[in-house]
Structure 1
């Protein structure tokens, strides 16, 4: 039930601001190779919208509208198969709002997402097409490379350990000039019981509830022992090295924590951040072939640990339970007083940096 409530909150968090727009609650889902379902709410004096489509984010196309409509839900065809599309809804009042798909339809990795579109507490919106999160990239296909090449990603930050990288070596788009940065989390010995890895929670003798509590406790260590790695990614953002992709093996734990940090820094409400984290449940753990690949990519240590668990125990370890991430945020509050204090101290992101990054990564 709590996951369904979070999904509802995520969808309702809107891709736009009600304070500055007559078109709110935008959502885009790809329903076919070139078919998309758009839904939204018309408010105020808005009676209709003209819908345009293009292949570039943050750039209203000069082409004629695909459709003009007063309906709140519409299915339409745009672009070509294996092509990322962005939709622009121009209200009859003149406002223009952008929306795109969040989950990218790649064959080789099931949890590749754009974190754009979220509304911030100050009425701005995170820009589409600049920040991406994912799981392991080892199994990307030629069609995936073709799709991704159009995104013009400049930097790929990899949170996987040396063992994971050896188990599943990655190759990015052949011929691209992307900068690949290895930032292993969980690779170095830490003080006993404090290593930033969920493996320490793998106890075959524990009940599912005990495992869940262990995961909740373990998650806080990502913030305290991996701040250096996360700070490096923030430095890339400060240097305007965009678009940027960050990932681990499953795209859930290490990646989920960084996603929370960057969205909170941009002013996205915690409830929306938790809902974004829980979206991983939609894409990981439901396809047995994908799970086998992810397990193979996790390395021998994790594979052996998972084999010793029952199916019920494994579900706990695979789940993107918002309580895990919430525990991290509460532990940060307890140690630093607030996320902002942690951000300034541990992530080396000053208030001036925040202002510049919000200007760069969000829009009115």
Structure 2
């Protein structure tokens, strides 16, 4: 389980992942995690000192942010960019719990994110191109589903090997379980968190592989998905240079 920063589950540096052209994602520039709201001030200060993060990209719903907060990151003046995923079929208006149905509930939910608002899902790609955003921490609540989708699409766009994307998605399974357990005591989840199926407590690497395969089939691939939502080839080239240090042909 993640222990470097008490309360921050699912935290990791995405750096080091291999790309199809033999390169690697730069270390110390892109981080991911679950919600930072449980950090204490000492741990938050250590996180900032160690990583140099300037901002967070927060994929939670607006009412999640309002109810749960960001912990000490606000007081420590870390930038906050809200990029909420649309979740249309929540169990209640004031809840963040959405059903996960079907034979492949995680992939079904991930594809619904795109069906609801593909532009919102990929919008963080454009955000990363803005000045003074990197290094950045991308997070949702558990740090697996919304964060997993956003990071997987970004990494695929810049040429990271899918086996590497899958391995990153499946990292820290104990943190997933711990994060799911604490949902029950969070205001925007509560007892409704019991509605999640057993699959929601896991992060099998093959889930993200199946998700990306569906993106290929339904949208013509990640680059086509980005292009259709305003993020073109030049933007992808710039992202690749920022995150890998190498120009994309």
Could you tell me how far 1:174 is from its partner in structure 2? 5.6
| Partner of residue 55, structure 2 | 155
| Partner of residue 249, structure 1 | 141
| Partner of residue 82, structure 2 | 182
TM-score, normalised relative to structure 2: 0.83
Q: Partners of 2:130 and 2:139 in 1: how far apart?
A: 19
Does structure 1 residue 266 correspond to structure 2 residue 164? no
| Partner of residue 334, structure 1 | 217
Give the counterpart of 1:349 among 209, 215, 231: 231
| Partner of residue 324, structure 1 | 207
Residues paired across the two proteins, number: 237
Superposed CA offset, 1:65-85 (max 9, x none): xxxxxxxxxxxxxxxxxxxxx
Q: Partners of 2:204 and 2:121 in 1: how far apart?
A: 21
Structure having the higher strand fraction is 1
Could you tell me how far 1:333 is from its partner in structure 2? 1.4
Q: Partners of 1:324 and 1:166 in 2: how far apart?
A: 31
Q: CA contact under 8 A between 1:154 and 1:179: conserved in structure 2?
A: yes
Q: CA contact under 8 A between 1:104 and 1:114: conserved in structure 2?
A: no
Q: Partners of 1:107 and 1:179 in 2: how far apart?
A: 21
Superposed CA offset, 1:221-244 (max 9, x none): 223324222333111211242111
Cα distance change, pair 238–162 in 1 and its aligned pair in 2 (3 A): closer
Could you tell me how far 1:254 is from its partner in structure 2? 0.3
Give the counterpart of 1:139 among 7, 31, 38: 38
| Partner of residue 55, structure 1 | none
Q: Partners of 2:13 and 2:106 in 1: how far apart?
A: 26
SS at match of 1:329: helix
1:218-257 to structure 2, matched below 5 A, reads 218-240=109-131, 241-257=133-149
Cα distance change, pair 229–154 in 1 and its aligned pair in 2 (3 A): farther
| Partner of residue 279, structure 1 | 171
Structure having the higher helix fraction is 2
Cα distance change, pair 104–343 in 1 and its aligned pair in 2 (3 A): farther
Q: Partners of 1:222 and 1:326 in 2: how far apart?
A: 16
Could you tell me how far 1:321 is from its partner in structure 2? 2.6
SS at match of 2:73: coil
Q: Partners of 2:227 and 2:129 in 1: how far apart?
A: 14
TM-score, normalised relative to structure 1: 0.59
Q: Partners of 1:351 and 1:325 in 2: how far apart?
A: 24
Q: Partners of 1:283 and 1:352 in 2: how far apart?
A: 36
Cα distance change, pair 149–282 in 1 and its aligned pair in 2 (3 A): same
| Partner of residue 192, structure 2 | 305
| Partner of residue 93, structure 2 | none
Cα distance change, pair 305–321 in 1 and its aligned pair in 2 (3 A): farther
Q: CA contact under 8 A between 1:249 and 1:298: conserved in structure 2?
A: no
Does structure 1 residue 116 correspond to structure 2 residue 15? yes
Structure of greater relative contact order (alpha carbons < 8 Å, 6+ residues apart): 2
What residue ranges of structure 1 are gaps of 5+ in the alignment? 1-102, 191-196, 203-209
Does structure 1 residue 293 correspond to structure 2 residue 182? yes
Could you tell me how far 1:308 is from its partner in structure 2? 5.1
Q: CA contact under 8 A between 2:40 and 2:72: conserved in structure 1?
A: no
Superposed CA offset, 1:134-187 (max 9, x none): 111111012211212212212211111234224422234365332212222235
Larger Cα Rg: Structure 1 or Structure 2? 1
1:177-216 to structure 2, matched below 5 A, reads 177-187=77-87, 189=88, 199-201=98-100, 212-216=103-107
Q: Partners of 1:219 and 1:298 in 2: how far apart?
A: 23
Could you tell me how far 1:104 is from its partner in structure 2? 6.9
Please give the root-mean-square deviation of Cα atoms over the aligned residues, in Å: 2.5
